[in-house]
Structure 1
Amino acid sequence: MASCLSSEVDLGTIPLIALNMTVRKKLGLHLNPRGTVAADWMAVAEAMGFTYLEIKNYEAFKNPTKSVLEDWLARCTDATVGKLLSILEEVERNDILEDLRPMIDEDVRKYCESLKKKKADAPVQVDVVDSCDPRTPERIGITLEDDPDGSPEMFDAFICYCQSDFQFVHEMIRELEQTEYKLKLCVFDRDVLPGSCVWTITSELIEKRCKRMVVVISDEYLDSNACDFQTKFALSLSPGARNKRLIPVIYKSMTKPFPSILRFLTICDYTRPCTQAWFWVRLAKALSLP
């Protein structure tokens, strides 16, 4: 059945999610009944690429058409409105095409309009506020070895710590920088030049200059606003810990509860005597990953 929309929109580019529940329900009413003459949902599922065993399992569902459509959408990149119409034509269910085509075209029209509206409402990224590269003076020449006219100094890890934990940070420097690991750590009190905005250069270092961040967890850490900001900022750059950006470290016993915001991350624990010998090896290996 021809449609004015067909000449305007390539239905092969419209995902199946454009079809609302009314259309899907009507598809089920047409295809769910086992037909002796007309092709039913099984023929459609086979044309979609489902195996015999998969199709047999769908028989247990009350609405197999609905389940087949949902799984087809989840597993196939070509699960589009155009592909569905081609399959219905292939199994010779032109009756469905004639009955549902006006509703399908209306759903596609609404879907296209919603895309246009989202695009029109999208915020414009202005060049001067683009965060891809440091553009402002306070982000240039912020560490000891920075060359304002060349490449910025880069680090393997930013160390998030409280002043009361600085003795352990010194040990970390000895074990990771001055041994065979040869890692380069960003220690704020040692590497950052004075005179710039703390929050601006901290975010610059964590996001742009350091591959990872080591968080030294202690009771004092829980009371530090600076550590809280650094941790939450690093977590926002790696939601779900997809690239192992943040590594929590415990080096002494705590009286306060472990921060809940870090509970889903694997911890490097220095307080367990049985695993202390492996502590620096594990930490160095994690920081050496690409």
Structure 2
Amino acid sequence: MCATKLCEDPEVDLRQIPLVALNVSVRRRLSLYLNPRCTVAADWTTVAESMDFEYLEIKNFETSKNPTLMILEVWEARSTNATVGKLLDILEASERRDIVEELRPLIDVDVKKYLERQSEPPVQVPEVDSCVTRAEDRHITMGDEMFDAFICYCQSDFQFVHEMIEQLEKTDYNLKLCVFDRDVLPGSCVWTITAELIEKRCKRMVVVISDEYLRSDACDFQTKFALSLCPGARSKRLIPVVYKTMSEPFPSILRFLTVCDYTRPCTQGWFWSRLAKALSLS
């Protein structure tokens, strides 16, 4: 049996079927096989490496309750190569043919339903049978515009983020910030849309550093994802901002970057103009 051909229709190449075709039930079933760390068979870490995730990303995925589901969502958001056929190829190459044989009937059903939906005339909104955001219809923010910066912050630091909005958006700087609680529409997968916004919709990323930031899984993921982007995308550089005194050490992963420090009275006078200049660079 060819793993990349649909059993009922050998003319259908699964390498051309986007991963969005897979229903949540298949994803959960796949997680049951791959989530347990195993010394005798390939687990989710092997699959993540085959999807070209870097070491820092994989270490961050370990904090998730369902790392398999997370890598599928992030892979789908950032790679045009995220197809059903490619996933089966990865499982085969990882010597997990047991998973392929077990899930193949369910996958064929999902692919058949996906192709049927694609052939239907667009009279009404297609039936949604998965919690995964469609790659081809990703209306995830209030508008479709590009942003000058994605703001990585904790809820406890939102008052400073609000001041940032007042200083950078509602002044002559006229910058457009992506603030998750304000700009992202509800009902979408947090990890998927965060990855897409950082990589494709935001020119820079401002990281609001605080003690609370150091304990935030979401901020940790956002920072490491931005750092893991390919060298060509690293021009969308991170800008660490410290606005209050910290009791914890500054994160070592960001120590190589120049910090915009609001805690020093002698530099507060040009804090906002310096930050705005960094964000407005082409």
Q: TM-score range by the shorter chain?
A: 0.5 to 0.7
Provide the residue aligned with 2:134 in structure 1: 137
Mapped to 2, the partners of 1:161 and 1:124 lie a distance apart of 28
Provide the residue aligned with 1:89 in structure 2: none
Alignment RMSD: 2.8
Mapped to 2, the partners of 1:213 and 1:256 lie a distance apart of 22
Provide the residue aligned with 2:90 in structure 1: none
Provide the residue aligned with 1:188 in structure 2: 180
> 1:156, 1:210 within 8 Å by CA — same for their partners in 2?
yes
Whether 2:166 is the aligned partner of 1:174: answer yes
Unmatched runs of 5 consecutive residues or more in structure 2? 1-49, 53-74, 84-132
Mapped to 1, the partners of 2:266 and 2:192 lie a distance apart of 41
Provide the residue aligned with 1:105 in structure 2: none
Mapped to 2, the partners of 1:246 and 1:211 lie a distance apart of 10
> 2:208, 2:240 within 8 Å by CA — same for their partners in 1?
yes
AA of the residue aligned to 2:262: Y
With normalisation by structure 2, the TM-score equals: 0.52
Shift of 1:289: 0.7
Mapped to 1, the partners of 2:196 and 2:267 lie a distance apart of 34
Shift of 1:134: 11
Whether 2:244 is the aligned partner of 1:247: answer no
> 1:247, 1:267 within 8 Å by CA — same for their partners in 2?
yes
Mapped to 2, the partners of 1:145 and 1:244 lie a distance apart of 21
What is the DSSP-based 3-state SS (H/G/I as helix, E as strand, rest coil) of the residue aligned with 1:228? helix
Provide the identity percentage.
Answer: 78
With normalisation by structure 1, the TM-score equals: 0.51
Provide the residue aligned with 2:33 in structure 1: none
> 2:206, 2:240 within 8 Å by CA — same for their partners in 1?
yes
> 2:147, 2:203 within 8 Å by CA — same for their partners in 1?
yes
Taking a change above 3 Å as real, the CA distance of residues 207 and 256 of structure 1, as seen in their structure-2 partners, is: same
> 2:203, 2:236 within 8 Å by CA — same for their partners in 1?
no
What whole-Å deviation, never above 9, does each CA across 1:210-236 have from its counterpart, x for those lacking one?
A: 000000000000000000000000111
Tell me which of 193, 198, 201 is aligned to 2:193: 201
Taking a change above 3 Å as real, the CA distance of residues 144 and 265 of structure 1, as seen in their structure-2 partners, is: same
Mapped to 2, the partners of 1:124 and 1:224 lie a distance apart of 26
> 2:205, 2:236 within 8 Å by CA — same for their partners in 1?
no
Mapped to 1, the partners of 2:248 and 2:254 lie a distance apart of 14
Provide the residue aligned with 2:272 in structure 1: 280
Provide the residue aligned with 1:217 in structure 2: 209
Q: Which has the larger radius of gyration?
A: 1
AA of the residue aligned to 1:168: F
Q: Highest relative contact order (Cα 8 Å, sep 6+), 1 or 2?
A: 2
Tell me which of 209, 223, 237 is aligned to 1:231: 223
Mapped to 2, the partners of 1:248 and 1:254 lie a distance apart of 14
Taking a change above 3 Å as real, the CA distance of residues 161 and 124 of structure 1, as seen in their structure-2 partners, is: closer
Aligned residue pairs total: 160
Unmatched runs of 5 consecutive residues or more in structure 1? 1-122, 147-152
Shift of 1:175: 0.4
Provide the residue aligned with 1:74 in structure 2: none
Shift of 1:243: 2.1
Taking a change above 3 Å as real, the CA distance of residues 275 and 132 of structure 1, as seen in their structure-2 partners, is: farther
AA of the residue aligned to 2:251: P
AA of the residue aligned to 1:208: K
Mapped to 1, the partners of 2:268 and 2:154 lie a distance apart of 22
What is the DSSP-based 3-state SS (H/G/I as helix, E as strand, rest coil) of the residue aligned with 2:211? coil
Shift of 1:176: 0.3
Mapped to 2, the partners of 1:245 and 1:133 lie a distance apart of 25
> 1:157, 1:184 within 8 Å by CA — same for their partners in 2?
yes
Shift of 1:131: 2.2
Shift of 1:245: 1.1
> 1:155, 1:211 within 8 Å by CA — same for their partners in 2?
yes
